[in-house]
């Protein structure tokens, strides 16, 4: 299987260009976090800069790191004022205690060692600094009645679940994480759960397919053996589109490094 950063390096030129899925999520996540202007903000596993752009708009001083060199090069071109570096999230070459905020959007679950990535976030935060990551937890209790999915999102999810048994062992990207347990295990305190929602409208299923190939879904698709890969493509291209709305909500967990 191709390592995670190589997959993202290959899709970097198309990443978030088919539809602005991650840019919209980045804005929603930073809105939830509300970092103050002047905060020293680390975008961990930054991709093309979804969190970076939103943090810059709030006046944060942003450092962006990602293991995929092409992602970093494109981010640096789009945001020339950002300190953008190629770096492994599990072994950051950054000093201790140098950030007020660290945030990781759709990153920690694809690391070889999620606890190592969370431990590094703890290390580079100042005492009292906050780390935020996307991911669920067994501690989650959703009392909100609002609809947070859509028919198209449910159909896409069902299709992936149907084909998942055909993925070879070790295939695709990522593994389930418990965000609250990871924060606890690294020593974070004052844990909070928030939510961020994104809504994207697809014109047709050809655009939906192009989007699936432009980010981490591509690893799943490429790891499907023939003829399942062809079957998956055919099924996705014939999904009922309804109004084309794909609505998703993700949990955003955060914790603080204990103050001195």
- Sequential DSSP letters for the chain: ---HHHHHHHHTTTTTTSS-HHHHHHHHHHHHH-PPTT-EEEEET-TTTHHHHHHHHTT-EEEEEES-HHHHHHHHHH-TTSEEEE--TTS--S-TT-EEEEEESS-GGGSS-HHHHHHHHHHHEEEEEEEEEE---TT------S----HHHHHHHHHHHHHGGGSPTT-SS-----HHHHHHHHT-EEEEEEEEEEEEE-SSHHHHHHHHTTSTHHHHHHHSPTTHHHHHHHHHHTS--TT-EEEEEEEEEEEEPPP-
Report pLDDT for 192. Answer: 95
Rounded CA separation 70/224 (Å): 25
Whole-number percent of the chain with pLDDT over 90: 88
Rounded CA separation 45/47 (Å): 6
Domain-by-domain residue ranges, the chain? 4-138+147-257
Q: What is the mean pLDDT of the chain?
A: 94
Query: Domain spanning 4-138+147-257 has what CATH number?
Result: 3.40.50.150
Report pLDDT for 15. Answer: 96
Taking residues 218-245, what's their average pLDDT?
Answer: 95
Give the DSSP H/E element, type plus range, for residue 255: strand 245-256
Taking residues 103-132, what's their average pLDDT?
Answer: 97
Rounded CA separation 84/46 (Å): 9
Tell me: pLDDT of 27 over 90. Answer: yes
What does the pLDDT look like over 57-93, one tens digit per residue? 999 999 999 999 999 999 999 999 899 999 999 999 9
Report pLDDT for 242. Answer: 85
Report pLDDT for 200. Answer: 97
Q: What is the pTM of this model?
A: 0.94
Report pLDDT for 146. Answer: 52
Report pLDDT for 174. Answer: 79
Tell me: pLDDT of 136 over 50. Answer: yes
Report pLDDT for 3. Answer: 62
Report pLDDT for 141. Answer: 60
C-alpha neighbours within 13 Å on the C-beta side of residue 202: 26
Rounded CA separation 207/14 (Å): 12
Rounded CA separation 194/159 (Å): 28
Report pLDDT for 239. Answer: 97
Name the band, by pLDDT with cuts 50, 70 and 90, for residue 145: very low
Rounded CA separation 208/53 (Å): 24
Rounded CA separation 142/27 (Å): 22
């Amino acid at each position: 299987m191709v390592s995670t950063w190589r997959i993202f390096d290959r899709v970097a030129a198309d990443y978030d260009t088919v539809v602005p899925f991650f840019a919209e999520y980045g804005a929603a996540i930073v809105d939830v976090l509300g970092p103050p202007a002047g905060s020293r903000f680390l975008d961990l596993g930054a991709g093309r800069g979804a969190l970076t752009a939103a943090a810059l708009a709030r006046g944060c001083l942003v450092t962006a790191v990602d293991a995929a060199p092409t992602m970093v090069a494109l981010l640096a071109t789009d945001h020339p004022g950002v300190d953008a570096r190629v770096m492994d999230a599990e072994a950051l070459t950054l000093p201790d205690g140098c950030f007020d905020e660290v945030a990781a959007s759709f990153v920690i679950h694809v690391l070889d060692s999620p606890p190592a990535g969370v431990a590094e976030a703890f290390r580079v935060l100042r005492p009292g600094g906050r780390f935020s990551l996307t991911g669920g937890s067994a501690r989650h209790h959703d009392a909100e009645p609002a609809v947070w999915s859509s028919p198209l999102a449910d159909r896409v999810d069902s299709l992936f679940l149907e084909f998942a048994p055909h993925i070879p062992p070790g295939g695709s990207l990522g593994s389930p994480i418990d965000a609250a347990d990871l924060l606890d295990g690294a020593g974070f305190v004052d844990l909070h759960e928030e939510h961020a929602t994104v809504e994207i409208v697809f014109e047709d299923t050809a655009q939906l397919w192009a989007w699936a190939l432009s980010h981490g879904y591509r690893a799943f698709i490429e790891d499907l053996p023939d003829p399942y890969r062809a079957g998956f493509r055919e099924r996705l291209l014939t999904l009922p589109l309804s109004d084309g709305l794909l609505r998703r909500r993700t949990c955003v967990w955060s914790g603080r490094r204990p103050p001195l």
